[in-house]
């Protein structure tokens, strides 16, 4: 189906999200849409898929002008969207989830649906058990389920919003294969991303958005430098980061065993030294989050001992760890890190660890303004945190950290951030290392792990590798380890 | 800035509309039941403010409701639904009665006894509230269910005391325990019944809560817990301890309410000693969207409605619950209008 968007305008309050965007995607094309956060990619896609309505502009499908009022409407017109966080129902069985949105009378025809589910899965080479539960799936598998569901509903246009975030290299390969197959079959694919390499691998054409406007379009061969320049309006130079000589041991794990209802890990040994960065690589849900939580005292180990500065902290609560200079920055910023509804200054007030009774507003405001300036947060002291953009929220989280820390634990520190913000965050983190702080972080971006770590731990379904020196490995080796290959070689 | 101000006026407009709709519905109800609405509203207003006596009655009832609502703001700030507030008021009343009874014939000065009884009442309320907290923290019982259960136990306990160990000599009846002698009443302005002390405690209570929630670290931490308990935990706030604290503070205020009901209003223990102020307080707190600044005027308005409607059965043979109907409608329509406003303004 040929999709045409003409002169789309959309504002949120005073902010222009889309400023007269025009885009024509012929049927059977894989169209990439590139842009940094806040460039208006998601808004445009949400307009096309009926989640929000444009203030002005036309949508034309196969030459016919349509009005899309809701996501259900979009599906009726043959447009389906795969969201960055899959919109599925974790407590449900896969087959039931598959049936959702399908209009087929009061009683769903489960047997027929199951047959068609299995056929679709076979066609694309997905191995999903329809009787399993959704919450047992990885992000990548949930994407596969959602793609199958949308195709079964009969969509001709598939929109994917940052689909390669949080899935493994293997799953990404499979996803791209599937998308190419679909495009060859005449479906129109719109692929939204801020990752150059993904867009370059997959797309037949790329449109670049900046500040709500279409600033350029390119067909292969892609010139990455040019694309980056279009995205940011300037050339970005990746800074060279020097490694720091590690100091004393700040964290030691001795034969630690941890488990949750899915994973069991044992005999974990690690010594982290002041000033070093340790990257945790692995597919989502391979145990790295559990490991990080155990480092923070948010998860009680079932065996072994955890030492912070040679003090046995096994079984102590997170607050005790915090008091000894261990800080934890979760991936879901608004759910686990910041308090929506409170302002920036109230956050600094909470994090400051004051022991007085009455709040010293003057001092608090001064502190807030200094931090806002130091960390380049685009917001005021009175701005509620939920109205900050993702990058600013992440910077705010960093700004909330105490001045003197021994260890910072981060989950996906740059997920969803544009390159500029990511570089900024790492500059701040490396400055911490210079002051003798150790950093342990999780990332599903192997480049990031390799670029910033001194040592790397690889996780694969509950197994933890020995620390690998970052300068002695490469993306290929890490990729294999993450996929579960090459472990015997590593052990020797 | 300009935009902020217009939205504030829009807000006020919607709230005003809510009051109008609530009045319209109440009027409709009056017409349907065959009563002259204008007359009824007139009686309502006269009943509340028609004479010095009536005004004094309004003020007597104001202090306890004010204090209860102030206390509830603390639990609401921490995101907790302290449905158990009624039981906490009841326990306050029981503890106060207990101290008054125990020292009634002692050599302690009456002032001392009254002070002691009020402190005991506050302690009683706090105790009952911390039970809700303990059940929640260590037993995993949601505070709504725990509070509801403890409310039942508290009201049963009152009945047991009135019919059992504390019954009046000779007769045991729903009219409660023996009335305390005059000297054990909270000192009041001559023959009006209104006590400057109760009044002062009410004002002091809401002022304390206002500044507590606005300007202290504890208040801010409670708010953080109420808005997002997981982030609060990550920020290093000891969450369950603070939730416990908020229950205890609310319990203190509820206990004080019970103590005033005994020492200033009824001078004895009654089966329905709370006068429903706990639930009314919850209603008011929701109505004002948990803003401390509105507690005093709105509670005053509510008790005026309550007291004013006492006249209705006599003057118009109407049920005095009319005020309850109006109060309920008000909360419903204010909440409804808030929903409508959000829906409409989002489109703009």
Which residue would you say has higher pLDDT here, A39 or B95?
Answer: B95
Question: Which chain A residues in 346-385 lie under 8 Å from chain B, judged by CB atoms?
Answer: 346-347, 349-351, 353-354, 356-359, 361
Query: What residue ranges define each of the domains in chain A, with the CATH number in brackets?
Result: 3-232 (3.40.50.300), 249-325+402-491 (3.40.50.300)
- Give the pLDDT confidence of B36-78 residue by residue, as tens digits: 888 888 888 888 888 888 898 899 999 999 999 999 999 999 9
B223 vs A contacts (CB less than 8 Å): 341-342, 346
Cβ-defined contact of B227 to A400 (cutoff 8 Å): no
Q: Please state, rounded to an integer, the average pLDDT across all residues of chain B.
A: 89
Q: What is the pLDDT of residues B111-147, one digit of tens each?
A: 999 999 999 999 999 999 999 999 999 999 999 999 9
pLDDT digits (tens, 9 = 90+) for A439-459: 999 988 788 888 899 999 998
- The interface residues of chain A toward chain B in range 293-322, judged by CB-CB distance below 8 A, are 318-319, 322
Residue of A nearest to B214 (CA): A359
Yes or no, beta carbons of A322 and B216 under 8 Å apart: no
Q: Are A338 and A347 in contact (CB under 8 A)?
A: yes
Summary mean pLDDT of chain A = 85
Query: A59-62 long-range CB contacts below 8 Å, 24 or more apart?
Result: A59/A3, A59/A4, A59/A5, A59/A6, A60/A3, A60/A4, A60/A5, A60/A6, A61/A1, A61/A2, A61/A3, A61/A4, A61/A157, A62/A1, A62/A2, A62/A27
Please tell me if residue B220 touches chain A, with a CB cutoff of 8 Å. Answer: yes
Q: Give the torsion through C-alpha atoms of A478, A484, A488, A489, to 10 deg.
A: -20
Question: What are the residues whose beta carbons fall under 8 Å from the beta carbon of B16, sequence distance 6 or more?
Answer: none
Of residues B114 and A17, more confidence is placed in B114
Residues from chain A that touch B231, judged by Cβ atoms under 8 A, are 334-339
Mean predicted confidence (pLDDT) in A140-168:
85
SS3 at position A258: strand
Nearest CA to B196 out of B328, B347, B70, B62 is that of B62
What pLDDT was estimated at residue A242?
55
Contact criterion met (CB < 8 Å) for A351 and B227: no
Categorize the per-residue pLDDT at B2 as very low, low, confident or very high, splitting at 50, 70 and 90. very low
Question: What would the mean pLDDT of B229-242 be, rounded to a whole number?
Answer: 90
pLDDT tops 90 at residue A168? no
Residue given tokens 């800080």 in the structure block? A327
Contact A248, A274 (CB under 8 A): yes
Higher per-residue confidence, B304 vs A168: B304
From chain B, pick out residues whose CB is under 8 angstroms from the CB of A323. Answer: 236
CB A427 within 8 A of CB A441: no
Taking CB atoms and an 8 Å limit, are B231 and A338 in contact across chains? Answer: yes
Q: Judge whether residue B230 has pLDDT over 70.
A: yes
Cβ distance of B228 and A340 shorter than 8 Å: yes
Euclidean distance between CA atoms B270 and B174, whole angstroms: 7
B237 interfacial to chain A (CB closer than 8 Å) = yes
Q: Which of A260-264, B2-6, B208-212, B296-300 has the lowest mean pLDDT?
A: B2-6
A298-307, B243-252, B270-279 — most confident range:
B243-252
| A359 vs B215, B230, B235: nearest CB | B215
Percentage of residues in chain A having pLDDT higher than 90:
30
Decide: helix, strand or coil at residue A248: coil
CB contact under 8 A, A350 and B237: yes
Say whether pLDDT at B254 is over 90.
yes
| pLDDT band for position B1 (cuts 50, 70, 90) | very low
Question: pLDDT at position A239, please?
Answer: 52
Residue A432: closest CA among A325, A344, A332: A325
User: Are residues A335 and B227, on separate chains, in Cβ contact within 8 Å?
Assistant: no
| Structure tokens, B57 | 């009655």
A positions 37-96 inside 8 Å of B (CB): none
**What SS3 class is residue A318?**
helix
Tokens 């259900």 locate to A72
Q: Taking CB atoms and an 8 Å limit, are B236 and A351 in contact across chains? A: yes
- Decide if pLDDT at A243 tops 70: no
- For residue A52, the chain B residue with the least C-alpha distance is B347
Identify the weakest region by mean pLDDT among A91-100, A180-189, A298-307: A91-100
Q: Which pLDDT does position B8 carry in this prediction?
A: 72
Which of A214-228, A245-259, A460-474, B51-65 has the largest mean confidence? B51-65
Mutate to test the interface with B, among A297, A317, A339, A345 (most CBs of B within 10 A): A339
- In total, chain A counts a number of residues equal to 492
According to the model, what pLDDT value does residue A226 have?
83
Q: What is the pLDDT of residues A112-135, one digit of tens each?
A: 888 888 888 888 888 888 888 887
Instruction: Give the C-alpha separation, A5 to B232, whole Å.
Output: 44
**Better-predicted residue by pLDDT, B216 or A482:** B216
CA distance B331 to chain A (A): 23
A20–chain B nearest CA distance, Å: 20
A 10 A CB-CB count for A281 gives 27
Kindly give, in sequence order, each residue whose CB lies less than 8 Å from that of residue A225, ignoring residues fewer than 6 positions away: A235
Q: Per-residue pLDDT for B348 more than 70?
A: no
pLDDT single digits (tens) B150-195: 999 999 999 999 998 998 887 777 788 989 998 999 988 877 778 8
For chain B, the residue count is 348
ipTM of the complex: 0.82
Q: Per DSSP, what are the bridge partners of residue A280?
A: A442, A457
What is the Cα Rg of chain B in Å? 21
A373: which 2 tokens?
């300036």
Using the Cβ of B1 and the Cβ atoms of chain A, whether some distance falls under 8 Å is answered with no
């Amino acid at each position: 189906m040929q999709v045409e968007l003409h002169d789309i305008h959309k504002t949120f309050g005073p902010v222009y999200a889309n400023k007269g965007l025009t885009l024509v995607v012929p049927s059977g094309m894989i169209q990439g849409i590139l842009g940094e956060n806040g460039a208006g990619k998601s808004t445009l896609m949400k307009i096309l898929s009926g989640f929000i309505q444009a203030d002005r502009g036309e949508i034309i499908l196969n030459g016919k002008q349509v009005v899309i009022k809701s996501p259900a409407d979009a599906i009726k017109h043959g447009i389906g969207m795969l969201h960055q966080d899959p919109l599925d129902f974790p407590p449900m069985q896969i087959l039931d989830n598959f049936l959702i949105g399908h209009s087929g009378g009061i009683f769903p025809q489960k047997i027929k649906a199951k047959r068609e589910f299995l056929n679709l899965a076979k066609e694309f080479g997905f191995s999903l058990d329809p009787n399993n539960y959704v919450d047992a799936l990885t992000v990548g598998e949930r994407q596969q389920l959602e793609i199958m569901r949308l195709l079964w509903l009969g969509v001709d246009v598939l929109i994917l919003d940052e689909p390669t975030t949080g899935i493994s290299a293997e799953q990404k390969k499979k996803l791209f294969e599937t998308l190419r197959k679909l495009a060859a079959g005449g479906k129109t694919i719109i692929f939204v991303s801020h990752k150059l390499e993904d867009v370059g691998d997959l797309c037949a054409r790329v449109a670049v958005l900046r500040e709500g406007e279409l600033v350029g379009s390119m067909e292969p061969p892609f010139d990455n430098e040019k694309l980056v320049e279009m995205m940011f309006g300037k050339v970005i130079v990746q800074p060279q980061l020097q490694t720091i000589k590690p100091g004393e041991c700040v964290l030691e794990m001795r034969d630690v065993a941890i488990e949750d209802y899915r994973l069991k890990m044992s005999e974990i040994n690690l010594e982290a030294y002041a000033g070093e960065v340790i990257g945790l690589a692995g597919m989502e849900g391979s145990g790295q989050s559990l490991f990080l939580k155990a480092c923070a005292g948010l998860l009680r180990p079932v065996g072994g001992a955890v030492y912070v500065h040679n003090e046995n902290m096994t079984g102590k609560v997170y607050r005790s760890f915090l008091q000894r200079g261990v800080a934890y920055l979760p991936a879901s910023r608004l759910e686990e890190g910041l308090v929506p509804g409170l302002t920036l200054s109230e956050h600094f007030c909470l994090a400051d660890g004051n022991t007085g009774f009455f709040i010293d507003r003057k001092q608090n405001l001064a502190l807030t303004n200094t931090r806002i300036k130091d960390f380049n947060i685009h917001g005021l002291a009175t701005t509620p945190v939920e109205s900050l953009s993702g990058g600013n929220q992440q910077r705010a989280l960093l700004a909330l950290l105490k001045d003197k820390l021994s260890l910072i634990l981060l989950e996906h520190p740059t997920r969803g951030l544009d390159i500029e913000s990511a570089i900024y965050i790492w500059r701040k983190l490396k400055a911490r290392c210079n002051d003798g702080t150790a950093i342990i972080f999780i990332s599903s971006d192997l480049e990031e792990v390799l670029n910033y770590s001194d040592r790397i731990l690889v996780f694969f379904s509950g197994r933890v590798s020995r620390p690998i020196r970052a300068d002695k490995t490469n993306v290929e080796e890490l990729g294999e380890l993450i996929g579960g290959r090459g472990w015997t070689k590593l052990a020797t | 800035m300009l935009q902020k101000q217009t939205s504030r006026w829009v807000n006020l407009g919607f709230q005003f509309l809510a009051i109008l709709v609530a009045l319209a519905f109440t009027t409709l109800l009056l017409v349907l039941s065959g009563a002259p609405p204008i007359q009824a509203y007139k009686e309502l207003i006269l009943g509340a403010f028609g004479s010095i006596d009536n005004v004094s009655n309004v003020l007597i009832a104001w202090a306890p409701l004010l204090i209860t609502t102030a206390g509830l703001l603390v639990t609401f700030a921490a995101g907790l639904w302290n449905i158990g507030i009624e039981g906490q008021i009841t326990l306050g009343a029981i503890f106060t009665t207990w101290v008054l009874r125990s020292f009634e014939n002692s050599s302690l000065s009456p002032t001392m006894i009254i002070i002691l009884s009020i402190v005991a009442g506050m302690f009683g309320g706090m105790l009952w509230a911390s039970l809700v907290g303990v059940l929640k923290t260590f037993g995993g019982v949601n505070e709504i269910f725990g509070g509801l259960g403890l409310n039942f136990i508290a009201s049963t306990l009152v009945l047991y005391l009135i019919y059992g160990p504390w019954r009046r000599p000779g007769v045991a009846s729903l009219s409660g325990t023996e009335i305390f002698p005059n000297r054990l009443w909270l000192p009041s302005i001559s023959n009006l019944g209104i006590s400057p002390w109760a009044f002062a405690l009410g004002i002091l209570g809401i002022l304390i809560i206002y500044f507590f929630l606005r300007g202290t670290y504890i208040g801010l931490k409670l708010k953080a817990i109420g808005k997002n308990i997981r982030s609060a935990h990550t920020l290093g706030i000891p969450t369950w301890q603070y939730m416990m604290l908020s229950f205890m503070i609310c319990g203190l205020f509820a206990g004080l309410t019970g103590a005033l009901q005994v020492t200033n209003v009824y001078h004895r223990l009654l089966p329905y000693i709370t006068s429903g102020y706990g639930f009314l307080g919850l209603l008011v707190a929701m109505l004002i969207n948990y803003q401390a600044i509105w507690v005093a005027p709105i509670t005053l308005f509510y008790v005026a409605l309550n007291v004013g409607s006492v006249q209705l059965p006599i003057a118009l043979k109407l049920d005095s619950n009319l005020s309850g109907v109006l109060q309920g409608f008000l909360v419903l329509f204010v909440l409804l209008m808030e929903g409508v406003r959000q829906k409409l303004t989002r489109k703009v």
